A and B are shown apart, each in its own frame.
Chain A
Amino acid sequence: MPVNAEKEITKLWKSLQGAQGEICNTYYRWRDFAVDMAGESADPMDVGLKAAEAFGQYIGKGLLPRLNLLKGDEGFLGLVARQLAGAWATEGAAVRVEPGENPNEAIIRCTRDPWPTAAKTFGVSMEEVALSREKMFQAMLVDVSLFFNRTLSIEMQKAIPRGEGEWVFKLSLGK
């Protein structure tokens, strides 16, 4: 059969990377627009964080059909962690989920992330990139917590844009 696998995979891979790059670029284009609309008196960081929160809320709603309590609270925590990691991976990040120090914790670790690079192109501060990611995750958990009647929280422990070499988030399921 005349299928050149290397060529087909390369073509597909480039398309995927292009699409992932567009996610970041589109986000920052809209951020620029929102900052302009907000006017000179507005702090761009505030606008950026508000945008991250709005994105997180929408993504969080989309998680509801994919989550369940069928495997108990521990299973639920793992599902949530994988959904957060999965959403990030879709954007081009290299992410994995690791067990936390106890069954009510999970670690989300990211060792490569396209967002800081894209942010530089648009002149966005690295601190905003770090806080936006945290805000987005927090916002994603609001409806999930409410829907499943569980208290989920997430804490940023390390951030690539802060020069710490990797992102580390601790996801916790409270009583």
Chain B
Amino acid sequence: MAKQIFEWDYSSYPGAKKYPNLFTPIQIGNLIVPNRIKYAATEDNLNQHDGFVTDADVEYMRRRAEGVVGGLCFMQGVYMDAARKGQGYVGQAACYDDKFIPGLKKIADAIHSEKAVAGFQLMDCGRVGAVEVPVGHGPSAVPQRLRIFKPMAEMSNAEVKEMVQQHIDAAKRGVEAGFDVMEISGIVGYLISNFISSYTNRRTDEYGGDIRGRMQAVVEIIQGVKEAVGPDIPVGIRLCSEELLDDVGGNSPEESMQSYQIAEEAGVDYISCTLGWQESIYPVISRDIPQGNWLYLAKRAKEHVKIPVQMAYRIFLPKFPEEAIAKGELDFWEMCRSMIADPLMPKKVLEGREDEIRHCVACNLCLARLFRDAPMTCYISPVCAHEHDPDFFPQEVAEDDKKEVMVVGAGPAGLECAYVAAQRGHEVHVYDKRDVLGGTLNEASKAPYGDEELLTCTNFQKTMCEKYGVEFHLGTEVTEGMIEDEAPDAVILATGPVYSKLKGAEEDGKKVVNVLDVLSGKAEVGEKVVVWGNRKPGIGVALKLAKDGKKVTLVGEDKSAGFDINPSFKWRYMIYLRQNGITAYNDCSIEEVGDGEIVVKTLNGQRFPVQCDTIIITERETNEALKATVQSEGIELYVVGDALVPRNLSSAVHDGYRIGLRI
């Protein structure tokens, strides 16, 4: 007899009318889930390095549980071996002993406190594990391609059986801690996927051979866990629908679908459809992949199995899963990064507040941080991983402390600061000489490979500013006199950067243009272009022009192009630079500007000419404008974003948020 843990009635919510399929119950195993929403298990590095759960992680999970409005909420995958070979992240929760149960129970209780279904995931990180020990374990000792991962040792037959038992024992502990659903992680290079893949499993015993042999350990885990947790707890598995490892002899898509069928035969109650390994050479989830791109894989999975199919992977907007569920091509909308950026995202969908969603910009900073042993951080959300700290959330100021705040600049730093300050009760006025909100993000979003998604930041901030009564004064350039006349209590200078001058480029006849004018289409450029500055603004405009057929050379003083892009996304840009025929001279400066060419000087002093008819300035400097005036008037002053130090969107948003809290 199927049961439902918490009752939910969505009938009065606008989101349930707009997306009826998302808010329709579904049965998995003997459990009825009120809706089709799942926060998928995601590492956050917030726990103690010995595997014990922290209050920070409990509150992180509580917030996501609130977001799923009754749906599935999975805590991060736990490692299950005392030897810690299965531990892939320094802050990963452990479950190899009963001593961890009280901490895990706190998470289950937190999820239940929001009337959500608590999911527990078993995750031995295998090939990408052993983060704290010298050697990892796997079905075969296939060397690591990336040096950041530990060398591998082949598991003996007895060790494989022990690993199966560890999954079963951990599942029992998960049930004791109060979790409602069990999930086995078999994805992205973790141990289970190592067993399934022909790339990493070269065993000759019963755990190797053809796909059925390579699935044998998985089958034993599924059957063992099912028996251990009993009929009331559904057991699911996350499996690769395509490994994207054809360059190293991984499974074919057909073999992956066979693995789905074998898992179904073994008794799993649902499959979460995933894609690619961390070692794959193909992009899967970065912004350059269009949203909804991978839904065909869920459809294919549905054609091969009868149990419910779940999927995340570039499905940030509710319309995609809504349509896919309606067509019978998907059963669950999974989310990882979109609920890292905004834990309440599905709740806002339900309540008809979609414009209040802070959308993930698919930059993968969160992953880059986790791989480098740092706690979770979100590029676009300053509060992510600070859910346990009340100081990170806006507190209303006392009536006497309310201030009139002038924000100069309606870019991401200014707008972020404005709505947070207004939310706290200050009277906030935002000025910008432009007629539109967003500042330089308007131009940045014109760069190719998905950068239009950056504008979701402005849309969110605009909504929040309007919600909290921020007054906009667009088309108004703030002058020194205006500051003196208005005499606000506080001034926030979010004026953006000043673009650097190139020595020798001021003379007539030399075509030097600003990156903003190029991206906005105001400036014309020739056929041979030099972009000065090898950070993201330079890369963005270079790629746009190269795609327009221009011959582009990038010159910059950073050691490598894209120094300001996190490594989990930067590799994509390096490939795009190559694919578009862009030459990058890094560690170089422009020594001279002549007619039809420039002289590039390397860090070592070598000089060489580069032909060009246009030079585009993307190098930026701190903006000192208005600072002296504000200080001389004795007004409380804050400088945020690129005006303070030219950096990136993330720094602008985080700056603005923190100052918004401080005023």
Contact = CB atoms under 8 A, between A and B. Distances in A.
A1 B609 CA distance: 8
Instruction: Bin chain B's interface residue count.
Output: 20 to 34
Contact of A143 (B143, B247, B604, B607): B143
Nearest to A147: B143
B143 A3 contact: no
Contact of A69 (B202, B248, B594, B608): B248
Contacts, number: 50
Given A1-B594, A70-B247, A148-B248, A65 B606 contact: no
Q: Which of A11, A70, A143, A147 has the most CB of B within 10 A?
A: A147
B142 interface: yes
Contacts of B247: 68-70
B372 interface: no
Nearest to B198: A149
Interface residues of A, number: 19
B246 interface: yes
Interface of A: 1-3, 5, 8, 11-12, 15, 61, 64-65, 68-70, 143, 146-149
Q: Which of B145, B202, B599 has the most CB of A within 10 A?
A: B145
B281 interface: yes
Contacts of A11: 605-606
A15 B609 contact: no
B14 interface: no
25 contacts: A1-B592, A1-B597, A1-B609, A2-B592, A3-B599, A3-B609, A8-B607, A8-B608, A11-B605, A61-B144, A64-B143, A64-B144, A65-B146, A68-B248, A69-B249, A143-B143, A146-B141, A146-B142, A146-B143, A147-B142, A147-B248, A148-B248, A148-B249, A149-B142, A149-B199
A70 B246 contact: yes
B604 A15 contact: yes
A61 B147 contact: yes
A69 B199 CA distance: 11
A149 B202 contact: yes
Given A64-B143, A68-B281, A149-B202, A3 B248 contact: no
A6 B597 CA distance: 18
Contacts of B141: 146
A32 B402 CA distance: 74
A8 B606 CA distance: 6
A146 B145 CA distance: 11
Nearest to A12: B606
A1 B248 contact: no
Contacts of B604: 15
A64 B145 contact: yes
Contacts of B608: 3, 5, 8
Contacts of B609: 1, 3
Interface string B137-154: 000011111110000000
A69 B606 contact: no
Interface string B167-195: 00000000000000000000000000000
B246 A149 contact: no
A169 B548 CA distance: 46
Interface string B441-458: 000000000000000000
Contacts of B144: 61, 64
A3 B599 CA distance: 8
B501 to A, nearest CB: 20
Nearest to A7: B607
Nearest to A64: B145
A15 B604 CA distance: 10
Interface in B578-623: 592, 594, 597, 599, 604-609
A15 to B, nearest CB: 7
Given A1-B592, A61-B143, 17 more contacts: A1-B597, A1-B609, A2-B592, A3-B599, A3-B609, A5-B608, A11-B606, A64-B143, A68-B247, A68-B248, A68-B281, A69-B246, A69-B249, A70-B247, A146-B141, A147-B142, A148-B248
Interface string B183-227: 000000000000000010010000000000000000000000000
Contact of A65 (B145, B199, B202, B607): B145
Contacts of A8: 606-608
A143 B248 CA distance: 13
A147 B145 CA distance: 8
A10 to B, nearest CB: 10
Contacts of B281: 68
A148 B198 CA distance: 11
Contacts of B142: 146-147, 149
Contacts of A15: 604
A27 to B, nearest CB: 21
Contacts of B145: 64-65, 147
Contacts of B202: 149
A68 to B, nearest CB: 4
B121 to A, nearest CB: 29
Nearest to B202: A149
User: Lowest 10 A-B CB distances belong to which pairs?
Assistant: A68-B247, A143-B143, A64-B145, A147-B143, A1-B594, A1-B609, A3-B609, A70-B247, A12-B606, A3-B607
